[in-house]
């Protein structure tokens, strides 16, 4: 059964639980004899732990024990597959980065544990950390998620040398931390050799398998539960040290242990967006037609693990040009391992590419939107494949109309409002359509309700609602008669809720499992002489409002009646997986970002007046939560453009603003008039339900659109994020220390 291209605006089915406080988050499960752990973190970025003095801490009320490298249970925290992160879990005395766990205090209350942790004295042998790109040796990673790190077509350098119009600059993005509303938290409970983990993570099945490897126990002995998340943005997509430490503590004391990561500790071992330095060189003819694109990316990783920020990926497919070279290099620095952060690669890469395209527009004296249309790619220029669908031209049109682009005066600084100067900028957005293997079950119950299950996780984006809608639509039931549950490894296997893949993956499985249940129900009815549908070809049966219906004869029967005679319920199940479509089509969601800014030329302050995003991402199951996702990404784009920057001390490798008073994120006053426009799109190739992921694309291009608007207003090109008053006034032009 097909969904409408734009689905209805349905309120969250889990919304009442959230607003009444009955939604149980990972730190809130009530377990008997629950103890609390608190991490002691390193105050150096590189060196060794020489001694740990626990004496004062152990004398405090409620303290049960304190774990360190000498007495911690032995586990395997090494990276055993490309998706693992190396875990710093008290297995040796090496300090590899700032805020690394070096001890763990366990007490009867959180307050006792936290206070005792402040009394633990750690002696270090500190070494000089490598903190700048110039300190580390650049090297080429083997691959990026199984794909080559470099992409070429034609002779990019020769084409650049011959191009009559050229732009060639370096753009940098700083370290950024995710900082979701809910910090990371874990409750671990052992029952013999069986372990139950209540964990704030984006993928319970991935967490289950990693925990099993770490402790050397069968995966079947591990159960992971994540019913609700208060945001993640990629930070909860990997297994981190605190989860293992909680399980180690629970094993050591023989009772359940909760470990909540305190806000300043979120700047330690739970990932971040890595800093990047990106050279983008574009060569074009005088009419703006691209001859070549060169995108050279250097990003940071840790000294003990590897993560690649694929910032050049967007350049390989977005614009048509006969020549292209995209490269990725890494440099090892004494920071923790980076990880995925909303639109990894595309967010940072689009800032560089779309800023360079804006520079090319001014160099060719073209409207920035017209330049992009002249270089529109009707096919993926690198893969040489057709797009499964591409409505980018319509996104440009709709977005430009909504922002009033036709009223833009091209001359820099020519649009004013009183003492302030007004700027308008735009950028293109794109994000790949991903999908992984996923399973689901759908059970039709005797009372006419349905119970649908899958082991995916709702990171707060509305997955409970979306999957309920898919099941209800397929089964022909009202929403209130479908009970969908997720977030538990007792349910069928599902992938991580990341990479904008969950709806495409689990949604396809939910639809197919529901169809499987219906097929079994139809067979029961057609074979039952007591049914009014007896003898009817099952292919001629449809569903409507909880009944099987034969339209040709007007005969029908309620689900309840069929099941009452047949034993009570039928269950459908399905494992949905990608097919050959990835080899036949290039699959991406597309969008266009537009921004209007107001700049005070005396103070250098930038205020966002209006922001419009227009996005095409296949069929939209729930327009209400989809629009919310787009808007959330756009707000994060404001943070990326104007505010967010984790600032390390280049001498010590320590982060200096590890709190929400100095690590700035957008608040209401930072967000001007904003709208996300859904461009209808039909795509029959991407998956069984025709959807593309939408969680990431809202941030892609947002920072570039704002930076381009600032240039239009002031003539000052900001190539190093974030955009600060000092940079607008020309008082801070150099790249940040990390990239120097």
| HEC assignment per residue over 338-407 | CCCCCCCCHHHHHHHHHHHHHHHHHHCCCCHHHHHHHCECCEECCCCEEECCCCHHHHHHHHHHHHCHHH
**Which position has the token pair 């003539």?**
715
- Between CA 322 and CA 153 the distance in angstroms is 7
Q: Maximum distance among all alpha carbons in the chain?
A: 86
The contacts of residue 181 (CB under 8 Å, 6+ apart) are 230, 231
Structure tokens at 57: 């801490």
Is residue 696 annotated as part of the catalytic site, yes or no? yes
Cis peptide before 722 (omega within 30 of 0): yes
Q: How many CA atoms lie within 13 A of 444 on its CB side?
A: 32
- What b/e sequence results for 316-339 when a residue is b if at least 16 CB atoms lie within 10 Å of its CB, and e otherwise? bbbbbbebbbbbbbbbbbbbbbbb
- What b/e sequence results for 137-160 when a residue is b if at least 16 CB atoms lie within 10 Å of its CB, and e otherwise? eeeebeebeeeebebebeebeebb
| HEC assignment per residue over 213-273 | HHHCCCHHHEEEECCCCCCCCCCCCCCCHHHHHHHHHHHHHCCCEEEECCHHHHHCCCCCE
**Per DSSP, what are the bridge partners of residue 431?**
589
- Give the DSSP H or E segment for 527: helix 502-527
Q: How far is CA 567 from the centre of its chain?
A: 44
- Between CA 231 and CA 579 the distance in angstroms is 31
- Between CA 115 and CA 61 the distance in angstroms is 10
- Between CA 55 and CA 341 the distance in angstroms is 40
Residue 280: closest CA among 322, 320, 321, 311 = 311
The contacts of residue 373 (CB under 8 Å, 6+ apart) are 393, 396
* C-alpha distances out from residue 603 to 412, 644, 719, 729, Å: 19, 20, 19, 8
Residues 679/391, Cβ–Cβ less than 8 Å: yes
CB atoms within 10 A of CB 341: 27
CB atoms within 10 A of CB 534: 13
**Per DSSP, what are the bridge partners of residue 168?**
281
Query: Strands 570-576, 415-417: parallel, antiparallel or unpaired by DSSP?
Result: unpaired
586 DSSP 8-state letter: B
**Which position has the token pair 């395997």?**
76
Structure tokens at 554: 């007007």
Structure tokens at 443: 């059970």
Residue 687: closest CA among 623, 618, 734 = 618
- Between CA 273 and CA 696 the distance in angstroms is 14
Q: How many CA atoms lie within 13 A of 111 on its CB side?
A: 1
Phi and psi torsions of 37, nearest 5°: -115, 150
CB atoms within 10 A of CB 53: 12
Out of 359, 696, 733, 737, pick the active-site residue. 696
**Per DSSP, what are the bridge partners of residue 186?**
199, 259
Where helices occur in 119-170 by DSSP H, the ranges are: 156-162
3-state secondary structure of 646: coil
- Between CA 504 and CA 493 the distance in angstroms is 15
- Between CA 665 and CA 687 the distance in angstroms is 36
Enumerate the active-site residues.
696
């Amino acid at each position: 059964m097909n969904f409408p291209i734009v689905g209805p605006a349905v309120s969250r089915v889990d919304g009442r639980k959230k607003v009444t406080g009955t939604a149980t988050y990972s730190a809130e499960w009530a377990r008997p004899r629950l103890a609390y752990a608190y991490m002691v973190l390193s105050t150096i970025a590189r060196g060794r732990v020489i001694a740990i003095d626990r004496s004062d801490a152990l004398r405090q009320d409620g303290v049960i024990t304190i774990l360190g490298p000498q007495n911690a249970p032995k586990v395997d925290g090494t990276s055993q597959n490309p998706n693992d992160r190396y875990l710093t879990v008290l297995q040796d005395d090496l300090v590899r980065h700032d805020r690394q766990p070096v001890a763990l205090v366990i007490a009867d209350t959180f307050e006792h544990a936290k206070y005792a942790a402040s009394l633990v004295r750690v002696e270090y042998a500190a070494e000089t950390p490598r903190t700048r790109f110039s300190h580390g040796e650049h090297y080429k990673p083997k691959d990026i998620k199984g794909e080559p790190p470099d992409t070429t077509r034609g002779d990019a350098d020769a084409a650049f040398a011959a191009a009559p119009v050229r732009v060639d600059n370096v753009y940098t993005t700083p370290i950024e931390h995710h900082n979701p509303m809910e910090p990371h938290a874990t409750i671990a409970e052992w029952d013999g050799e069986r372990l139950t983990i209540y964990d704030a993570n984006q993928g319970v099945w991935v967490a289950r398998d990693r925990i099993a490897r770490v402790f050397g126990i069968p995966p079947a002995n591990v159960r992971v539960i994540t019913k609700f998340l208060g945001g993640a943005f990629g930070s909860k997509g990997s297994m981190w040290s605190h989860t293992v430490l909680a399980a180690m503590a629970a094993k050591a004391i023989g009772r359940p242990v909760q470990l909540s990561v305190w806000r300043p500790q979120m700047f330690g071992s739970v990932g971040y967006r890595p800093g990047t330095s990106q050279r983008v060189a574009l060569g074009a003819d005088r009419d703006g037609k691209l001859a070549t694109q060169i995108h050279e990316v250097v990003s940071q990783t840790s000294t003990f693990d590897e993560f690649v920020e694929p910032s050049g990926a967007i350049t390989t497919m977005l614009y048509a040009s006969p020549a292209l070279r995209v490269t990725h290099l890494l440099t090892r620095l004494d920071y923790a391992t980076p990880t995925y952060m909303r639109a990894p690669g595309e967010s940072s890469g689009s800032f560089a590419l779309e800023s360079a395209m804006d520079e090319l527009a001014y160099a060719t004296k073209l409207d920035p939107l017209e330049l992009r249309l002249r270089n529109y790619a009707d096919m993926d220029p690198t893969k040489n494949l057709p797009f499964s669908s591409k409505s980018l031209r319509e996104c440009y049109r709709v977005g430009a109309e909504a922002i009033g682009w036709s009223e833009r005066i091209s001359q820099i600084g020519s649009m004013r409002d009183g003492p302030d100067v007004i700027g308008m900028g735009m950028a293109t957005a794109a994000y790949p359509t991903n999908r992984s293997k996923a399973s689901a079950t759908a059970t039709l119950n005797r009372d006419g309700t349905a119970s649908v299950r899958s082991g995916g996780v709702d990171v707060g984006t509305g997955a409970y609602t979306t999957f309920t809608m898919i099941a209800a639509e397929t089964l022909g039931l009202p929403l209130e008669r479908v009970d969908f549950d997720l977030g538990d490894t007792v349910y069928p296997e599902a992938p991580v809720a990341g990479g904008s893949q969950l709806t495409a993956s689990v949604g396809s499985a939910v639809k197919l499992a529901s169809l499987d249940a219906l097929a079994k129900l139809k067979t029961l009815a057609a074979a039952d002489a007591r049914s009014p549908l007896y003898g009817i070809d099952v292919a001629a049966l449809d569903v409507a409002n909880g009944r099987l219906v034969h339209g040709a004869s007007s005969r029908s029967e309620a689900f309840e009646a069929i099941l009452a005679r047949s034993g009570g319920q039928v269950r459908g199940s399905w494992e949905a997986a990608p097919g050959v479509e990835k080899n036949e089509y290039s699959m991406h969601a597309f969008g266009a970002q537009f921004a209007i800014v107001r700049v005070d030329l005396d103070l250098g302050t930038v205020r966002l007046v209006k922001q419009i995003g227009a996005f095409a991402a296949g069929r939209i199951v729930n327009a209400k939560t989809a629009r919310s996702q787009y808007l959330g990404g756009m707000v994060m784009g404001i943070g990326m453009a104007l505010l967010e920057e984790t600032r390390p001390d280049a001498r010590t490798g320590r982060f200096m603003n590890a709190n929400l008073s100095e690590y700035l994120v957008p608040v209401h006053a930072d967000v001007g008039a904003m709208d996300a426009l859904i461009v209808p799109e039909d795509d029959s190739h991407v998956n069984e339900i025709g959807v593309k992921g939408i969680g990431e694309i809202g941030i892609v291009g947002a920072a570039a659109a704002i930076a381009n608007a600032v240039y239009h207003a002031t003539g000052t090109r900001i190539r190093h994020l974030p955009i600060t008053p000092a940079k607008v006034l020309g008082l801070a032009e150099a790249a940040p220390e990390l990239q120097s």
